[in-house]
Structure 1
Amino acid sequence: MFNIKIEKNEFFNDWGDLIVKSKIIINDFSEYFDLPVSYWKVNDYKRSWVKSISQILNKNKDRAILFTSMYDLEKVNFLHSWIVYKKGNSAFIQNCILFRDDFNEFSLENIFKYIPDREIYSEYGEKISEWTTDFENIIRFYDKLKFELK
């Protein structure tokens, strides 16, 4: 199972961001998060997820980035995302924060070159949290998104 469920009700959080409650589900793991919708709307996120997953399906890439926060890139310090790494019939999924200062000329057009290689241990030798599902579940999620965007 893989899904990102997005509620319909928008509201302002304590920091003044317009958000919708959302939830990522990876098999028996789930986690709620706030999806900011002042800069990107829900369908912008969905379109970006479809585009990124299609890189694996159509361009023989081995990874995709699913942004779960997006702001004006001129003003933001970091972006939240989930990275999907494909290996064989499996998908390995890690939460990732991309820091704008780590990249030159950071833009959405070239974001794929900034998706980090899959690491299973941090620079301190600690195991990185990672969830695994069948890649077929990622394809189902992709198909569902494409249907919703029609």
Structure 2
Amino acid sequence: MGDFSETFPMDLSYWGVDDYRAGWVRALRRVDAGRDEVDSCLVTSITDPATANFVFCWPLYRRGTDVYVQNAVVFLGELADAFRPTEPWLSVEPRGTVDEDGNEISEWRTTIDEVRAFLSAHP
């Protein structure tokens, strides 16, 4: 988004590229549709949740016109409810800026306008 780009490994055994794209569009539309405060999530690597232990993702936290992105691992065995790949935001923790050890959590900041520009370029 904007001038920022990131590369990362992506498992293609459960989801194909089109599945990731569709999931990202759903997640970004959720951020766009929210008013001032909404959480969402971009799945960055997933294997079959029925047999996997974890899912890699980028939680998205919209606060007004700012959107904060963090890197996270969802441990499937620790969830109260089954992981839903089409609604991964249901398994994401609320935004925190400090971890349990008092360390600052790394995050990126972008804007809702950048999210909208990305959605316009990637319908």
Instruction: From 88, 94, 102, give the equivalent of 1:125.
Output: 102
| 1:58 has 2:33 as partner | yes
Shift of residue 57 of structure 1? 2.4
Shift of 1:84: 1.4
Q: 2:20 aligns with which of 45, 49, 53?
A: 45
Count of matched residue pairs = 121
Q: Does 1:141 align with 2:118?
A: yes
Runs of 5+ in structure 1 lacking a partner?
4-24
- Report which stretch shifted further, 137-146 or 36-45: 137-146
State the shift of 1:122 in Å: 0.1
Looking at secondary structure, tell me which structure has more strand per residue: 1
2:7 aligns with 32
Query: What is the Cα-based RMSD across aligned positions, in Å?
Result: 1.9
Q: How does 1:3-42 map to 2 (within 5 A)?
A: 26=4, 30-42=5-17
Larger Rg: 1
Q: Which has the higher contact order (CA 8 A, sep 6+)?
A: 2
Name structure 2 gaps, 5 residues minimum: none
The percent of aligned pairs where both chains have the same amino acid is 27
Q: Which deviates more, 118-127 or 37-46? A: 37-46
Q: Give the TM-score taking structure 1 as reference length.
A: 0.72
Question: Which runs of 4 or more aligned residues in structure 1 lie more than 6 Å from their structure 2 counterparts after TM superposition?
Answer: none
